Amino acid sequence: MRAPAFWWRRPGLASALLSPVGAVVGAIALARMGKAGGRVEAPVLCIGNPTVGGAGKTPTAIALLRRLTARGATPFALLRGHGGAAPMPLKVDSAIHGADAVGDEALLLARHAPTIVAGGARRVGAEMAVAVGASHIVMDDGFQNPSLHKDVSVLVVDGAVGAGNACVTPAGPLRAPLLPQLARADAVLVVGDGSAGEKVAAEAAQAGCTVLRGRLVPDPAAVAALRGVPLIAFAGIGRPEKFFATLEGEGLTLLARHAFADHHPFRPAEIARLVEAARAQGARLVTTQKDRIRLSAPAFAGPEFATVVDAIATLPVTLALDDPHGLDALVDLAETRFQARRF
């Protein structure tokens, strides 16, 4: 399901009508978040977000995994494995697992560190990671899930939209009321510019959270390869508009934009229509890394799609923090808390 437009506007009739349901959803979420999680023999750092959908969690988790590795650690990524159908928990093997088995995010994370997809059993997945050598656990999502104790939690916020209309789903994008979520977090990372994100940053600072800021930086080589090329963009992420805006912000030529729901399982007929539209306009298709990974599903394994899929361009992005030492401080805090809880 794509996020409804009213989530990102001032509260109106739709959000008012749905707010009683949101109150119930929020109460249930807060009750779950108040439960004690199981502990494992490694520091656990959780990268979550207060809202439904994407805000930059996976690039943040990758940045943290890379920083831990540079410090000499052996971090493992841990995530639910949204969209994956394989029995879980399991350790991701990119040579044999596709997005249909473990989900698109897992395959992206596995390029940077050993990765466990746990389904609903995050504690079991974390124990599996520790058993095979993990020094640290980096959770991609799961802030609201109580099954695993977190030593440090970071909430990632899209600076352009912040907390939206500040209502709880389905009345708005929040997974639970914002202030109680901030009270359980150690840091808030605002990705990109925008007054909506700055409002959340101010509330986070008042709640005692460390506030970090960063931006998603497109790969320069990929941008150069697409410059001057007519493009048709498509994306099935939390907020496709952010991907389209990134392309335009780099001065690339967009002829059309096609938005799909987050983690959308593309069908061959959909891709065939996009390919035909690109051919008719003399354009090239471009999508996100996550979306491109999902095109490795068995439905696209036939020879008729091999050349087509290979020709679809991607625009990789990395997280650049305003304070490059911000992640180190969070790692230090997680390690200190881990040592304290061991004794």
Please give the annotated binding residues for ATP, written as ranges.
Answer: 51-58
Q: Indicate the length of the chain as a whole number.
A: 343
What is the SS3 assignment for 259?
Answer: strand
Distance CA 45, CA 57 (A): 12
- Known binding residues: 51-58
Residue type, 37: G
| Burial category of 133 from C-beta neighbours within 10 Å (exposed 0-12, middle 13-18, buried 19 and up) | exposed
Q: Parallel, antiparallel, or unpaired: how do β-strands 115-117 and 90-91 relate?
A: antiparallel
Contact 216, 57 (CB under 8 A): no
The sign of the dihedral angle between the CA atoms of 132, 138, 142, 144 is positive
H helices present in the chain, as ranges: 13-33, 57-70, 99-102, 104-109, 122-131, 178-183, 195-206, 220-226, 240-249, 268-281, 289-294, 303-310, 326-342
What is the SS3 assignment for 139?
Answer: strand
Distance CA 249, CA 101 (A): 34
